[in-house]
Amino acid sequence: MEKREFLRFLAASPLLAARPGMAQDDLLYRTLASITDLDPGLPRELASVAGVYELEQVAQRVLPPAHFGYIYSGAGNGESKQANRDAFARYDIQPRRLQGIDSASLETEVFGEAWQSPLFLSPTNGHRAFHPLGEIASAQGASAAGVTQMLSSLTNTPVEEVNRVKSDKATWFQLYPTNDEAIRYELVQRAEAAGCPAIVVTVDDIGGRGSEISAAYYNSDPRDCTLCHQRQLGIPDFLQRKAMFQDYKDLPGFSIDANAMTFDDIARLREQVKGRLIVKGIMHPVDALECHLAGADGIVVSNHGGRVDSGGLGTFDALPGIVEAVQGRMLVMLDGGVRRGTDVFKALALGADAVGFGRPYLWGLAAYGAAGVQRSVELVENELRRAMIQAGVSRIADISGTQLLAD
């Protein structure tokens, strides 16, 4: 029997049907033991992982090429994704000596609530593509790490179930606004009923996407992707397993894209949202001000990790102009290319109130499940603590632009 036929046979087997998802799991997830046996250079134990790029190495070997490539890829040839990293490299932290500082506290405040650190998990979709427990594992990891998790509206697990496993605080719900205003508000109401104290509306996923990188990984994947992904007109039907869209996915004309949105939509959304409203994907000072005027409580300076636009502007480069325009009138968060505690330090120094990352905790999730998510946060937090002591500051509030030198 051909390999593909055999896989189809496996997927259709009644034995496997008795355990939903198992056939896919067997095809998707390799165990860590099997890859460390093959590759002795990889960390065997999570505790020995020294930085988030090691999590990436393990994730690359655990995941099928197309799924790893989905995390890795950036729009075009990765221009904006690379710009996110390059922007951080253009600033250095200037060390101080003999400041008498032997410890640093990461505690900070966001919307009047105490956060144990300024780090948060940016929303990323479809976690079952990376680990069998999907968002349940990432939510448990976020709770263990004590950080706020933004839950993608393209979650595989319904928001109600995710918030139920959160032992500390509910997720913030990321909203793809869709091209249907009524559905938009239904999603908001559902998330709020599930306990989400904030709605994070993503406005940068416009104009369609194209990525040579993603295509190359997909083409290099030997598996038969149609076993899991239905294809309609050649486009993967990615709403198929997205829990929040099951009632809407087959509606004629329905799309999660909302190219036609304007700031008036944000103002109307403001009237619907009972808790905090954050706009994610802002890269221009004027847009930031418009968000404030429309009633937003905050923004995430973000280019979607360089996954949608390929224009080459890094988020850290966009930050100073936006901070200057906002003048402290609303919360300014940032994500994109954050891999190290020093990156977090630099973003805080130039005015960000909180800093998120996406890919690093997905690597942790793929490699080690909930514990890997937790570890990705700890690694960056430990680095941030060390960076603060090097710079002579012991409190987050004391981090400022005077500690940076531009190259």
Ligand X SMILES: Cc1cc2nc3c(=O)[nH]c(=O)nc-3n(C[C@H](O)[C@H](O)[C@H](O)COP(=O)(O)O)c2cc1C
Q: Nearest approach, Cβ of 358 to ligand X (angstroms)?
A: 2
DSSP conformational letter for 95: P
Here's the x/- map for ligand X, 75-114, by CB under 6 A: it reads as ---------x------------------------------
Q: Nearest approach, Cβ of 74 to ligand X (angstroms)?
A: 9
The answer to whether 204 and 281 have CB atoms below 8 angstroms apart is yes
Task: Tell me if 280 contacts ligand X by CB under 6 A.
Answer: yes
CA 93 distance to own-chain centroid: 26
- Dist CA 310 CA 375 (whole Å): 31
124/390 with CB nearer ligand X: 124
- Dist CA 83 CA 94 (whole Å): 22
307/375 with CB nearer ligand X: 307
DSSP conformational letter for 186: H
What are φ and ψ of residue 142, in 5° steps? -65, -40
Q: Which of 29, 68, 70, 316 binds ligand X (CB under 6 A)?
A: 70
- Dist CA 73 CA 325 (whole Å): 31
Binding segment for ligand X (CB under 6 A), chosen from 253-261, 271-279, 297-305, 371-379, is 297-305
Task: Tell me if 68 contacts ligand X by CB under 6 A.
Answer: no
**Angle formed by the axes of helices 285-293 and 263-272, to 10°?**
40
Closest to 46 measured CA to CA, from 38, 54, 65: 54
Report CA-CA distances (Å) from 401 to 243, 283, 328, 353.
43, 20, 15, 13
Task: Tell me if 202 contacts ligand X by CB under 6 A.
Answer: yes
Q: Nearest approach, Cβ of 71 to ligand X (angstroms)?
A: 5
Here's the x/- map for ligand X, 18-47, by CB under 6 A: it reads as ------------------------------
307/385 with CB nearer ligand X: 307
Q: Which of 336, 351, 364, 372 binds ligand X (CB under 6 A)?
A: 336
Task: Tell me if 211 contacts ligand X by CB under 6 A.
Answer: no
Closest to 315 measured CA to CA, from 301, 327, 332, 304: 301
Residue whose token pair is 């390799």? 30
| # chain residues binding ligand X, by CB under 6 A | 24
123/364 with CB nearer ligand X: 123
8/229 with CB nearer ligand X: 229
292/304 with CB nearer ligand X: 304
Report CA-CA distances (Å) from 407 to 87, 93, 155, 320.
11, 10, 40, 16
Closest to 200 measured CA to CA, from 302, 278, 288: 278
Binding segment for ligand X (CB under 6 A), chosen from 29-37, 105-113, 291-299, 300-308, is 300-308
- Dist CA 400 CA 350 (whole Å): 7
Q: Which of 60, 143, 178, 302 binds ligand X (CB under 6 A)?
A: 302
Rg of the chain over Cα atoms, rounded to whole angstroms, equals 21
Tokens of 101: 């500082």
Binding segment for ligand X (CB under 6 A), chosen from 4-12, 210-218, 227-235, 355-363, is 355-363
Task: Tell me if 357 contacts ligand X by CB under 6 A.
Answer: yes
The answer to whether 169 and 191 have CB atoms below 8 angstroms apart is no
Task: Tell me if 340 contacts ligand X by CB under 6 A.
Answer: no
Closest to 74 measured CA to CA, from 237, 258, 373, 313: 313
The dihedral through the CA atoms of 237, 80, 342, 40 has a sign that is positive
Here's the x/- map for ligand X, 122-141, by CB under 6 A: it reads as xxxx----------------
Q: Which of 335, 343, 353, 381 binds ligand X (CB under 6 A)?
A: 335
Task: Tell me if 390 contacts ligand X by CB under 6 A.
Answer: no
The answer to whether 205 and 124 have CB atoms below 8 angstroms apart is no
Q: Nearest approach, Cβ of 344 to ligand X (angstroms)?
A: 11
Task: Tell me if 156 contacts ligand X by CB under 6 A.
Answer: no
| 229 has catalytic annotation | no
Q: How many CB atoms lie within 10 A of CB 367?
A: 30
Binding segment for ligand X (CB under 6 A), chosen from 14-22, 240-248, 257-265, 357-365, is 357-365
Q: Which of 152, 310, 390, 403 binds ligand X (CB under 6 A)?
A: 152
User: Which residues form the interface with ligand X (CB under 6 A)?
Assistant: 70-71, 84, 122-125, 152, 154, 174, 202, 280, 302, 304-305, 307, 335-338, 357-359, 362
Active-site positions? 304
